[in-house]
């Protein structure tokens, strides 16, 4: 289950920048 | 002699007048109470920010509604009250969540998340990024992937502008995660500070003592810790909310989200003792139900689903089972393992007698409603 969580987190954060400010 | 019949007439009118006055008082109180109850679940009035502590039993779920009708959900309670969260979102007229935050991956905070993601569109999901080995957590991540929701791992220094004038600053977790604590999942909770004008509120997830220590080390490097309203960490557990932390936050009001009849000792009498030195108002979902805070950015008012005597609000719980371990306060000999469900502080009150009296009195008032001005009470500290 831990490996599954790691895989999913990796997949979901792929290409994520180090952006600090988010305008919603 | 002529006076006597008049006196008799006055006497006969007196009970009628008393009865009429009593009836009018009851009607007035009922009207005020009903108006107060209408605040619960009412869609936010324009120009005001609303924060709702949902009553999800033993867990956390907070809804923030901005003046521009943007919506943020911080945690979604345990699996068994998922319907309550969805129902509350509908009641407050939320058709889209602009931001959803899972402070950490324990089920009492994310148990209702999958149901929420199924029910309503979400623009951005902020997670603590801890690969926790439970099906509740992996199911939530799968749902985020399935829905194609933008996913961000939280880190101190991030800032979310939620429309005009409303900011949510992330104070934790830090890039170097805490390890070797009582619960690393709790210790690496997302801590967020909400700012709207002169109003501020700190959301602490299930922070541990180590989280608070690190926040104090970094106080001011991102957003300040100081906040007028504090969401008390970890349902009021005795393992967080230290004096040093409270001295930095300096809250006026504390809100605790926990379950009625919970057996975990939430909130702990020791924590309430510590809070009592700082806050003038305490609110609890286990006793008061849903709690609604509204602010125009200067003043704020708090409405609760049920009115509860202040002396009951300050009564903590002992856990049903307790392993021997030190708490943040001096140990109480003979208390470990006891199964006292509720316990008032046995220590002498640390607040001034005048403050004690006023808070107890206020607790008995119906409706339970307070209005604060910016700067009020600052002379107290």
- The number of C-beta contacts closer than 8 angstroms across A and B is 61
CA atoms of B119 and B149, how far apart (whole Å): 13
- The more confident residue out of B156 and B375 is B156
- What are the residues facing B281 on neighbouring strands? B253
The percent of residues above 90 in pLDDT, for chain B, comes to: 60
- The more confident residue out of B16 and B100 is B100
Provide the token pair at B128: 């603590």
Report the gap between the CA of A15 and the closest CA in chain B (Å): 11
Task: With beta carbons less than 8 A apart as the criterion, state whether B77 and B60 touch.
Answer: yes
Residues 6+ apart with CB under 8 A from B26: none
pLDDT score recorded for residue B42: 58
Angle between helices A2-13 and B135-147 (to 10 degrees): 30
Residue B328, pLDDT > 60, answer no
Across the interface, do A8 and B158 touch by the CB < 8 Å criterion?
Answer: no
Q: What is the pLDDT of residues B214-269, one digit of tens each?
A: 899 888 777 899 899 999 999 999 899 998 999 999 899 999 999 997 989 999 99
pLDDT score recorded for residue B365: 27
What is the sign of the dihedral through the CA atoms of B154, B255, B236 and B349?
positive
Q: What is the pLDDT of residues B170-195, one digit of tens each?
A: 999 999 999 899 899 999 999 999 99
Residues of chain A contacting residue B142, judged by C-beta atoms under 8 Å apart: 8
Mean pLDDT of A4-13: 92
Task: With beta carbons less than 8 A apart as the criterion, state whether B304 and B290 touch.
Answer: yes
| Nearest Cα to Cα of residue B310 among B356, B269, B274 | B356
Residue B278, pLDDT > 60, answer yes
Across the interface, do A24 and B159 touch by the CB < 8 Å criterion?
Answer: no
CA atoms of B162 and B100, how far apart (whole Å): 12
CA atoms of B122 and B143, how far apart (whole Å): 11
pLDDT score recorded for residue B104: 97
Peptide bond into B65 cis (omega under 30): no
CA atoms of B53 and B35, how far apart (whole Å): 19
Across the interface, do B159 and A21 touch by the CB < 8 Å criterion?
Answer: yes
Residue B281, pLDDT > 50, answer yes
Lowest mean pLDDT among B6-15, B215-224, B286-295: B6-15
Q: What is the pLDDT of residues B341-380, one digit of tens each?
A: 455 543 333 333 332 222 222 222 223 344 444 433 333 2
pLDDT score recorded for residue B182: 85
């Amino acid at each position: 289950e831990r490996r599954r969580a790691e895989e999913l987190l990796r997949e979901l954060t792929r290409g994520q920048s180090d952006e600090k400010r988010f305008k919603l | 002699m002529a006076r006597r019949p008049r006196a008799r007439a006055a006497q006969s009118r007196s009970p009628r007048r008393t009865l009429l006055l009593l009836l009018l008082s009851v009607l007035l109180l009922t009207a005020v109470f009903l108006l107060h109850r209408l605040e619960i679940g009412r869609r936010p009035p324009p120009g005001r920010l609303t924060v709702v502590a949902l009553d999800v039993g033993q867990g956390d779920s907070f809804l923030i509604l901005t003046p521009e009708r943007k919506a943020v959900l911080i945690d979604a309670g345990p699996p068994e009250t998922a319907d309550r969260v969805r129902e509350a979102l509908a009641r407050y007229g939320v058709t889209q969540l602009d931001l959803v935050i899972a402070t950490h991956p324990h089920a009492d905070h994310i148990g209702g998340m999958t149901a929420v993601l199924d029910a309503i569109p979400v623009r951005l999901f902020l997670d603590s990024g801890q690969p926790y080995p439970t099906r509740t957590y992996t199911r939530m991540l799968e749902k985020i992937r399935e829905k194609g929701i933008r996913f961000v791992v939280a880190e101190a220094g991030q800032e979310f502008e939620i429309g005009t004038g409303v900011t949510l600053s992330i104070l934790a977790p830090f890039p170097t995660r805490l390890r070797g604590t009582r619960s690393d999942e709790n210790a690496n909770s997302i801590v967020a500070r909400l700012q709207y004008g002169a109003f501020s509120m700190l959301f602490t997830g299930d922070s541990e003592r180590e989280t608070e220590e690190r926040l104090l080390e970094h106080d001011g490097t991102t957003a300040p810790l100081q906040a007028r309203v504090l969401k008390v960490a970890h349902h009021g557990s005795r393992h967080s909310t230290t004096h040093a932390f409270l001295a930095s936050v300096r809250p006026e009001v504390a809100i605790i989200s926990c379950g009625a009849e919970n057996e975990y000792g939430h909130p702990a009498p020791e924590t309430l003792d510590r809070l009592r030195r700082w806050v003038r108002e305490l609110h609890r979902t286990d006793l008061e139900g849903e709690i609604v805070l509204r602010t125009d950015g200067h003043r704020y008012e708090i409405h609760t689903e049920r009115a509860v005597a202040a002396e009951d609000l300050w009564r903590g719980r002992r856990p049903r089972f307790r392993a021997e371990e030190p708490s943040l306060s001096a140990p109480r000999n003979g208390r470990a393992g006891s199964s006292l469900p509720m316990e008032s502080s046995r220590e002498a009150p640390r607040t001034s007698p005048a403050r004690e009296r006023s808070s107890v009195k206020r607790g008995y008032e119906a409706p339970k409603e307070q209005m604060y001005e910016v700067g009020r009470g600052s002379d107290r500290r």
